[in-house]
Amino acid sequence: MGEFSNVDWKLFEVFLIAHGCGLERIKGDHCIYVKNGLRRAIVVPKRDPLPPFIVLNNLHVLGISKEEFLNWLREN
pLDDT digits (tens, 9 = 90+) for 19-74: 999 999 999 999 999 999 999 999 999 998 999 999 999 999 999 999 999 999 99
Phi then psi dihedrals of residue 23, to 5 deg: -70, 120
Radius of gyration of the CA atoms of the chain, in A: 11
What CATH number does residue 24 fall under?
A: 3.30.920.30
Query: What's the domain count of the chain?
Result: 1
Q: How high is the pLDDT of residue 32?
A: 98
pLDDT at 6 over 90: no
Q: Give the distance, in angstroms, between the CA of residue 23 and the centroid of all CA atoms in the same chain.
A: 12
- Name the pLDDT band for 2 (thresholds 50, 70, 90): low
Residue 34 belongs to domain spanning: 2-75
